[in-house]
Amino acid sequence: MPHLQDQLDEITANTRTLVQPERLAINERAVEDLFATGIEQRILPAGTKAPDFALTDATGRIVRSSDLLALGPVILNFFRGRWCPYCVTELEAWRDLYPIIRERGALVVGVSPQTVRQSDFTQVQHEIPYALLYDDGCKVAEQFGLAYTIPEYHREHYRNVLVNIPFVNGDQSWKLILPATYVLASDGTVLFAEAHADFRVRPEPEEVLRHLPVVKR
């Protein structure tokens, strides 16, 4: 299986050949500005307890973190939305590893500010076997330290490239999240936490899996 970051770097390389330099510069500025806020240092860290949540999945069913954790350790993958090719590539990487995760007695769950309808599209189009949960208004992401508001100059960029964030997320807040990966023990303790202001960087799934506790059967 190819490394996830190699696949993401290929997307970046292709983007740089297809997108006008001035549009690329806006994305670079947005990444630099977000990094400068120190948001990466404020995410919920390993060793703390994850907040409880109850979110709606792609079928409209309420999924509670307590119910997930009752079944075993949980990998939480916070992703921006189906419009982000980096996020989709990462979702598919976890899709391909899903049988291994289940064999180890764990679960993987996607969490995103995109609406239930958008999650349903994502699940069907990319054959995602695990739950994709709708974090309305980034409220849960906020508790994990991942939420931020897109600045006006970057909103204009999204409009120009036809990414309608208010439509996809179902509100006018222009809130978005850092892509992030967490591993939670059955008692809710955070065993692994990684998030990046640069949306083109994600942890390798193999590294994340190393933090899964051994589950006695």
pLDDT band, very low/low/confident/very high, at 125 (cuts 50, 70, 90): very high
How many CA atoms lie less than 13 Å away from 116 in the CB half-sphere?
9
Write the CA distances from 210 to 94, 206, 214, integer angstroms.
Answer: 14, 7, 10
pLDDT reported for residue 21: 87
Looking at residue 216, the DSSP 8-state letter turns out to be P
Contact 95, 128 (CB under 8 A): yes
- Which DSSP helix (H) or strand (E) runs through 56? strand 54-56
pLDDT digits (tens, 9 = 90+) for 11-68: 999 988 888 888 889 999 999 999 999 999 999 999 999 999 999 999 999 999 999 9
CATH tag for 4-209 (out of 3.40.30.10, 2.30.30.360, 3.30.465.10, 3.40.630.10): 3.40.30.10
Contact 54, 85 (CB under 8 A): no
pLDDT reported for residue 137: 96
pLDDT digits (tens, 9 = 90+) for 83-100: 999 999 999 999 999 999
Q: Rounded CA gap, 28 and 34, in Å?
A: 10
pLDDT reported for residue 1: 65
The yes-or-no verdict on residue 182 having pLDDT over 70 is yes
Which residue from 67, 1, 51, 44 is spatially nearest to 209, judged by alpha carbons? 1
Domain range summary for the chain, segments of one domain joined by +: 4-209
pLDDT reported for residue 135: 98
